[in-house]
C-alpha cells in the first residue's frame, strides 16, 4: 500500500493493471474537484444567506483561505518525514474533512475555520501533485497528460455541479450537500491509500531552493496568483450581488465551464506542446486583458455570464507555466520548487482579496481593472520566454 513498498499487493480497491502513477494522478484529479466544486458553487450564496457576509467578510475569508498556500514552501520539511505520495493522500483527507464540516458552521468565525482546514489539505495536495506530475511524466507527454488531468477534474466537477444543481432544485439543505461532497473526497482518499509507492526517477532535494535562473518562472507565477484570485473571489460575487444569480445559476455556469474543459483541455495541452509556452501564454494574457476590462463595465447579466465562462476557458493555458518549469529546472529541484512556487503564487493572494474587498465597496469596476493590469504585466513577462526553453536557456533577456 502507499505506506508500504513498491511490491506491496495493496487491496482489491484498485485492479493490479491500474496501480500506476498515471492512474494515481487521475484518481487524485477526481477527488479535489469533487469537493471544491461543491464548496465553490455554494459559497457565495451560503455566506450571504446564512452568515450575512458583505464584500469585506468574503474578502477576509478568501485571504485566510490562501494562507496555507502562502505557507506551501513548508511542504519540503514535511517531506523529511513523509513520502510525497503519502503526504498527498493525507492532504486530500484533510481537504475532504474541511469541506464536509463547512455547512455545520454558518457563522463568520466558523466559516473562517473550516475554510482554513479545507485549504490546508487543498494547497498541500496541489503542491505535491505538481511535483509528482512533473517527476512522473516525461517532458514530451507532460503538456498533453496535464491537459488530460484537467479534463478528468472537469468531468468530476461537472458531475458534482449537476448533482448540486439538482439537490438545490429539490430543496436539499446546504449542510447535507457539503457533507456528501466532503465524504466522497474522504472515500477517494482511502482508495488512493491502496496504491503502491511509486519511485521518483530523481531523488529530490529536501530543502528550500531559490535559484536566480528561475526568476522568470517566479514572476509569472506571482502574477498568475494575483490575477487568479480576483477572478475566484470577485467574479462569482459580482454575479450574486449585482445580478442576483442564485446558487443554482452559479452551478449552471460552472457546468458550462467544465464541459469546455472536459472536451478541450487535453487538446489545449497538446497544442501547447506544439506551439510552445511563449505563444500559448501570449494568447492567454491578451484574452484575459479583454475579459477583465469588460468585467469592469458590464451591466448585462448574460454578458457577465459569457465573460465568466470565457475567463475560465483561458485557465487551461496555464499548463504552459508548469511545462516551462519542467524544461528549465534541475530534476532534483522539482519538489522544492513546487512548494516555493505555491508560496510565491499566494503572496499576493493572501493580501489582494482583503484589500480589494475594501475597494469593492467603493468601486467594483476598479477591482477588475486591477486584474487587467496584472494580465498586462504577465503578457510583458511572457515575451521573455524562449522559443525553446531549456536548462541554460531560461530567458531571452536577463540571463543570470
Q: Is 6 a member of any domain?
A: no
% residues pLDDT > 90 (the chain): 28
Q: Is 7 a member of any domain?
A: no
DSSP class of 11: -
Residue whose C-alpha is closest to residue 254's, from 114, 118, 156 = 156
Q: Are 245 and 41 in contact (CB under 8 A)?
A: no
Distance CA 349, CA 354 (A): 9
Which residues form the domain of 308?
Answer: 16-382
Instruction: Compute the radius of gyration of the chain from its Cα atoms.
Output: 20
Other beta carbons within 10 Å of 109: 9
pLDDT tens across the length of the chain (400 residues): 444 444 444 455 667 777 888 899 999 999 998 999 888 888 888 888 887 777 778 878 877 887 887 788 888 888 888 888 999 999 999 999 999 999 898 888 889 999 999 999 998 998 888 888 888 888 888 888 888 888 888 888 888 878 888 898 888 888 999 999 999 999 999 999 989 888 777 777 778 888 889 999 999 999 988 888 888 778 888 888 888 888 778 767 877 877 887 788 888 888 888 888 999 999 999 999 999 999 989 888 889 888 888 887 787 788 889 899 989 988 888 888 888 887 887 787 667 777 888 888 888 899 999 999 999 999 999 999 998 998 888 998 877 6
Q: Is 96 exposed, middle or buried (0-12, 13-18, 19+ CB in 10 A)?
A: buried
Q: Is 361 a member of any domain?
A: yes
pTM of the model: 0.77
- Kind and range of the H or E run holding 272: helix 247-275
Q: Is 387 a member of any domain?
A: no
Classify 393 as helix, strand or coil: strand
CA-to-CA separations, 196 to 32, 58, 345, 356, in angstroms, rounded? 20, 41, 31, 45
Q: Is 85 a member of any domain?
A: yes
Backbone φ and ψ for 379, nearest 5 degrees, come out as -60, -45
Distance CA 254, CA 262 (A): 12
Q: Is 318 a member of any domain?
A: yes
What is the sign of the dihedral through the CA atoms of 106, 107, 111 and 113? negative
pLDDT reported for residue 12: 59
Q: What is the largest CA-CA distance in the chain?
A: 61
Q: How far is CA 379 from the centre of its chain?
A: 21
pLDDT reported for residue 100: 94
User: Backbone dihedral region of 208: left (phi > 0), alpha (psi from -120 to 50 degrees) or beta?
Assistant: beta
Q: What is the CATH number of the domain that holds 28?
A: 1.20.1250.20
Q: Is 393 exposed, middle or buried (0-12, 13-18, 19+ CB in 10 A)?
A: middle
pLDDT reported for residue 268: 85
Intra-chain end-to-end CA distance of the chain, in Å: 44
Q: Is 5 a member of any domain?
A: no
> In residues, how long is the chain?
400
Q: How many structural domains are present in the chain?
A: 1
Amino acid at each position: 500500500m502507499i505506506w508500504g513498498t513498491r511490491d506491496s499487493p495493496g487491496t482489491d480497491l484498485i485492479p493490479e493493471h491500474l496501480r500506476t502513477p498515471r492512474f494515481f494522478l487521475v484518481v487524485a484529479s477526481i477527488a479535489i474537484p469533487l469537493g471544491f466544486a461543491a464548496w465553490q458553487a455554494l459559497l457565495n450564496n451560503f455566506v450571504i444567506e446564512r452568515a450575512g457576509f458583505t464584500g469585506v467578510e468574503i474578502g477576509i475569508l478568501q485571504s485566510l483561505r490562501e494562507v496555507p498556500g502562502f505557507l506551501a514552501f513548508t511542504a519540503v520539511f514535511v517531506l523529511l518525514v513523509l513520502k510525497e505520495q503519502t503526504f498527498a493522500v493525507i492532504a486530500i483527507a484533510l481537504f475532504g474533512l474541511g469541506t464536509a464540516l463547512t455547512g455545520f458552521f454558518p457563522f463568520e468565525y466558523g466559516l473562517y475555520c473550516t475554510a482554513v482546514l479545507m485549504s490546508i489539505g487543498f494547497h498541500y495536495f496541489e503542491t505535491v501533485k505538481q511535483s509528482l506530475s512533473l517527476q512522473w511524466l516525461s517532458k514530451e507527454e507532460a503538456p498533453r497528460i496535464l491537459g488530460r488531468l484537467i479534463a478528468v477534474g472537469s468531468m468530476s466537477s461537472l458531475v458534482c455541479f449537476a448533482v448540486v444543481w439538482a439537490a438545490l432544485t429539490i430543496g436539499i439543505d446546504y449542510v447535507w450537500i457539503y457533507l456528501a461532497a466532503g465524504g466522497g473526497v474522504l472515500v477517494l482518499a482511502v482508495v488512493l491509500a491502496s496504491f503502491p509507492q511509486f519511485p521518483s526517477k530523481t531523488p529530490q532535494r529536501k530543502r528550500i531552493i531559490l535559484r536566480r535562473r528561475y526568476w522568470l518562472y517566479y514572476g509569472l507565477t506571482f502574477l498568475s496568483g494575483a490575477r487568479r484570485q480576483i477572478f475566484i473571489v470577485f467574479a462569482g460575487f459580482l454575479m450574486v450581488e449585482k445580478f442576483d444569480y442564485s446558487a443554482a445559476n452559479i452551478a449552471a455556469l460552472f457546468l458550462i465551464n467544465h464541459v469546455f474543459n472536459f472536451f478541450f483541455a487535453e487538446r489545449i495541452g497538446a497544442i501547447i506542446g506544439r506551439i510552445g509556452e511563449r505563444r500559448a501564454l501570449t494568447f492567454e494574457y491578451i484574452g484575459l486583458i479583454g475579459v477583465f476590462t469588460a468585467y469592469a463595465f458590464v451591466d448585462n447579466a448574460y454578458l457577465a455570464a459569457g465573460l465568466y465562462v470565457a475567463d475560465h476557458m483561458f485557465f487551461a493555458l496555464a499548463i504552459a507555466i508548469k511545462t516551462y518549469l519542467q524544461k528549465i529546472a534541475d530534476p532534483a529541484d522539482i519538489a522544492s520548487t513546487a512548494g516555493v512556487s505555491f508560496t510565491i503564487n499566494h503572496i499576493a493572494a493572501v493580501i489582494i482579496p482583503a484589500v480589494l474587498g475594501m475597494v469593492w465597496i467603493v468601486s467594483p469596476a476598479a477591482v477588475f481593472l486591477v486584474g487587467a493590469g496584472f494580465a498586462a504585466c504577465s503578457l510583458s513577462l511572457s515575451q521573455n520566454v524562449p522559443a525553446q526553453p531549456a536548462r541554460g536557456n531560461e530567458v531571452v533577456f536577463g540571463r543570470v
